[in-house]
Structure 1
C-alpha cells in the first residue's frame, strides 16, 4: 500500500476510534500531507526508512517553528505506529524519532579512531565480551540497522565467500555486504566462546546472536549493550544508528562511490544516501579552514 492510500485510513481511525475533534484531525491532516509531499506520497509504506524521514525533517526545519516541528514529529510517529498496528506495514521507521530538536539532526560522526577505541575498551573478562564486540563490529562493519542485526541468522554468514546477507524486515528485500576481516574474527570468537554453549538443543534458534535462553537476542538487549559501552566511554553520541552513520560517512571519506554506499546501506533512493555526502563536504570545509594557510585570511 502507498502512503497516500494509507493516510485516509489513519484519519478515519482518528475520527472513529480515537474520537478526536475535527480541528485536531485537520491539524494531523495538514502535517501528514506536508510529510507525504516531502517524502513522495506514492512510496510504499514498507519502503520508508528512518533516514528518509530524518532527511525530510532537516530540509524543512528552517521553515518551521520548533513547536511545529515537534507536532509534526508526533504526527509522523502516530501515523507509522498505526500502520504497524493494523498490519499495513511490517516496519516502523519513525519508532525512535523523539519529539524535540535533537531528532532533527544527524548524529555526530564518530571517527574511526574513536570507534576502534570503543571496541577495544570492551571488558574481555566479561562473560559476554565476545557477544558485545560482535554487536559493535557488525553494526559498524556492515552498516546494518539494529532490526537487521536482530534478524540475521547464522546461515546468513558465508565464511567461504566472505559476504553477509542483510535482510530488511521479515520476507522483505535483502542485500549482500562484504564480510570484513575484523567482523569475521568477531563472529568466529563469538561462536566459539558464547553461542555454542547457549544453543537450546530442544529448540535451536537460527539467529546469529542468542540470549541466555538460546533465543534470538532482542533489539532492546542490543540497545542496552550499546548504551552501557557508551556510558563507560562517556560518549553521548554513540548509538546503533551512529555506527551505521559512521559506516557510511567513513566509506565516502575514503573515496567510495555514493551509489555503492547506497547499495551497502540498502537505501531505495540515492537521495537518502546523499545526506552523508553533505556531512563529508562539511568535514572537508572544516579541515580546509583549520589547516590551509590562506583559509583564515
Structure 2
C-alpha cells in the first residue's frame, strides 16, 4: 500500500503542525487510516487514497462493525472523515467518499463522579508512613481542586506555579496554555511536598523543573497516577470504576452544582468548545430545575 504512505505521512505532519494536536491524538487519527489500509491490503484491493470511493468505505465499515461497538465505529468514521477532508483541503481530491456514510447513533456517555466525602476518604487512605505520602496527597488535591487532565498533572512544572497570584499555568491539548485558579489549601499541600520530600530526591537531568517526581528523580507516568488512585479506591472499598479523569469530572460537576456558570468552567477545564462542557448539565437535572426556579422571571 505504498500509495497511502506519503499521504498519511503528510497528514500526520498537518495534524501536528497546522492543527497543533498532541502526539497521542496524531497517533489515534493515523491509526484510523491504518485500519482502512490494512483492510484493503488483506482483501488485495490496490486502491489509492485518491481513487477510493463510497462503496469501498461502506464495505470496510460493514467489515469492522462486528468487532467495534457503536461508539468506536463513530470514532473511526470521524477519523476517516478528517483524513479525506485533509485530502480535499490540499486539493488532492475534489470530493470525499465519506459524504453519505452514516455515523452510528450513540447516547452521550455521562462521566462518573465522586462525592466530596468520597474524595476526602481517598485522600485520607494515603498511608502517612510512606515516603510518597506528601506527593500523593498534593497530586490528588491538585487534580481535584484545579480539574486537570492526568497528562497536565504529570507535566506540571515548578515554573508553572504562580502562588502569589493564586494561579497555575497549565499546558493542555495542542500545547494550548491556560491559567487555572488554585486555592491556598492546595498550595499548602504542594509546598509541604516540595519543601519536605522533593528537595531530598536526586533529580535526573531534564526533570529539574518537573513538580511531581518518582523516587528515581524522574517524572511520573500517567499509568502510575492511575495505579495510585486504583489502589486507594480498593483500600476504602469504593465500588466505582474511577481514574484520574474522575477527579476532573467531579471538579466540574461540583462547581456547577454550587452555582458556577458554564463559561467559567469551560475556561478552567480548557475545553475548546462549550458543547463539551455542556455534558455536565446532564448530570443533575434537579440543578437545572433549581436554576429555572431561581432566575426565570416567570418562576
Q: TM-score, normalised by structure 1?
A: 0.66
**Counterparts of 1:166 and 1:225 in 2: how far apart (Å)?**
22
| Structure 2 residue 182 is the aligned partner of structure 1 residue 179 | yes
Check whether the contact 1:14–1:25 (CA below 8 A) recurs between aligned residues.
Answer: no
Check whether the contact 1:141–1:180 (CA below 8 A) recurs between aligned residues.
Answer: yes
**Counterparts of 2:268 and 2:32 in 1: how far apart (Å)?**
36
The 3 A distance-change label for structure 1 pair 66 and 279 is farther
**Counterparts of 2:197 and 2:206 in 1: how far apart (Å)?**
17
Structure 2's unaligned 5+ residue stretches are 1-13, 20-25, 46-54, 84-106, 291-299
Question: In the comparison of the two structures, how many residue pairs are matched?
Answer: 231
Superposed, 1:21-32 pairs within 5 Å as 21=43, 26=58
Equivalent position of 1:259 in the other structure: 263
**Counterparts of 1:174 and 1:112 in 2: how far apart (Å)?**
28
| Structure 2 residue 143 is the aligned partner of structure 1 residue 111 | no
Equivalent position of 2:284 in the other structure: 280
* Offset at residue 184 of structure 1 (A): 0.6
Check whether the contact 1:133–1:186 (CA below 8 A) recurs between aligned residues.
Answer: yes
| Structure 2 residue 211 is the aligned partner of structure 1 residue 208 | yes
Give the structure with higher Rg (CA).
2
The 3 A distance-change label for structure 1 pair 284 and 110 is farther
**Counterparts of 2:236 and 2:78 in 1: how far apart (Å)?**
31
* Offset at residue 117 of structure 1 (A): 2.2
**Counterparts of 1:184 and 1:30 in 2: how far apart (Å)?**
53
**Counterparts of 1:193 and 1:8 in 2: how far apart (Å)?**
43
**Counterparts of 2:243 and 2:69 in 1: how far apart (Å)?**
27
The 3 A distance-change label for structure 1 pair 190 and 266 is same
* Offset at residue 181 of structure 1 (A): 2.0
Equivalent position of 1:233 in the other structure: 236
| SS across alignment from 1:164 | strand
**Counterparts of 1:66 and 1:282 in 2: how far apart (Å)?**
38
**Counterparts of 2:66 and 2:62 in 1: how far apart (Å)?**
15
Structure 1 residue corresponding to 2:165, chosen from 161, 167, 172 = 161
Equivalent position of 1:148 in the other structure: 152
**Counterparts of 2:250 and 2:228 in 1: how far apart (Å)?**
18
* Offset at residue 193 of structure 1 (A): 2.3
| Structure 2 residue 199 is the aligned partner of structure 1 residue 196 | yes
Q: Over the residues paired in the alignment, what is the CA RMSD in angstroms?
A: 3.9
| SS across alignment from 2:284 | helix
| SS across alignment from 1:176 | strand
* Offset at residue 154 of structure 1 (A): 0.9
Structure 1, residues 55-114: CA drift from partner, whole Å, max 9, x if none? xxxxxxxxx9996426516737987xx9xxxxxxxxxxxxxxxxxxxx973333211122
Check whether the contact 1:109–1:242 (CA below 8 A) recurs between aligned residues.
Answer: yes
Structure 1, residues 214-236: CA drift from partner, whole Å, max 9, x if none? 11111111111111111112222
The 3 A distance-change label for structure 1 pair 267 and 124 is same
